[in-house]
Amino acid sequence: MVKFLYRQFQIVGRHVPTEKDPNPQIYRMKMWARDEVKAKSKFWYFLRKLRRVKKANGQILAVNEIFEKNPTTIKNYGIWVRYNSRTGVHNAYKEYRDTTLNGAVEQMYQEMGSRHRARHSAISIIKTATVKAADCKRPNITQFHDSKISFPVPRRMVRPSSRVYKTTYKASRPSAACY
Amino acid sequence: MPFKRTVEIGRVVMVTYGADYGKLYVISDVVDLNKALVDRPDEVRRTMNFKRMVMTDFKVDIPRLAKKAVLKKALEESDVFAKFAASTWGQKMAKREAKANLNDFERHMAAVNKMKRSAKVRRAFNKLKKSA
């Protein structure tokens, strides 16, 4: 099984019950983080922005990892992000094709890093959704919505079948031809 | 000249890198320009990068994301894996594997037979050279 860089957690927490408020509002958030600890930390970060609660006077009721239900089918994921650039804050909507949501989120972080130099700490995921093929907006995603898809792989990367066979010099010129 | 071995649903691919070297899979769906969902009757469907595989001449007629039973039936009817094994490419793969799995005695016999054969060839060649 592929080891995901960013795992999805469901975190449920609330303010500790007090005399004034014996049944505080319970909040549930879905976070993507490398591990549970970071997920919980981000949970408090976001919850502090919603109401007057911090980790010291709050309690986490549940932490569950969310796994992909159908990792053998390809889905189109739409991810709404808010990210800090060098000069301001922006919202973005990005689409990815992947078999799992964790994979799509990983793609998103990679792409944001490469295209906008936005690091993980500068990105917040607002929303994620599985988008139907008809509703996809990005042409680089919709180009794969073809049940009769067919394209060649024009150049073959010539490499040894295992790193054991890797040598600096080869006896003959490799052929990268592919037909 | 147009490309014949295209990436398409149903294309039989051979893995050329990693633990699954030499195994044949069928493309079940295309994720994006780098990855495809590949499937085999005895394995769970998974993604694989195109860099790890090479397209073969063979193709089965299956729908997108075909169920295991459908895939199995299509493979059995078309007998693609056997056809590949009978093709020149498949035979070369088999010979390579056989050579890699020779035991010490078999390797000795192979060397002895090679020497005998080349001696006969050389003798015949030298005779022809002398008479020419």
Closest by CA to B50, choosing from B83, B85, B25, is: B25
Each residue's pLDDT tens digit, A20-62: 999 999 999 999 999 999 999 999 999 999 999 999 999 999 9
> B38 to chain A, minimum CA–CA distance in Å?
10
- Chain B contact set for A74 (CB, 8 A): 29-31, 37, 65
Q: Does A144 touch chain B (CB under 8 A)?
A: yes
User: Given this model, what pLDDT does residue A178 score?
Assistant: 77
**Could you say which DSSP state residue A169 is in?**
-
Give the model's confidence band at B1: pLDDT under 50 very low, under 70 low, under 90 confident, else very high: low
pLDDT in tens, B61-97: 999 999 999 999 999 999 999 999 999 999 999 999 9
Cα(B49)–Cα(B40) distance, integer angstroms: 16
Write down the residue that tokens 């010099």 correspond to.
A169
Nearest to B66 by CA among A6, A42, A21, A73: A73
* Largest Cα–Cα separation, chain A: 82
Q: Among partner residues A157, A161, A178, which is closest to B5 by beta-carbon distance? A: A178
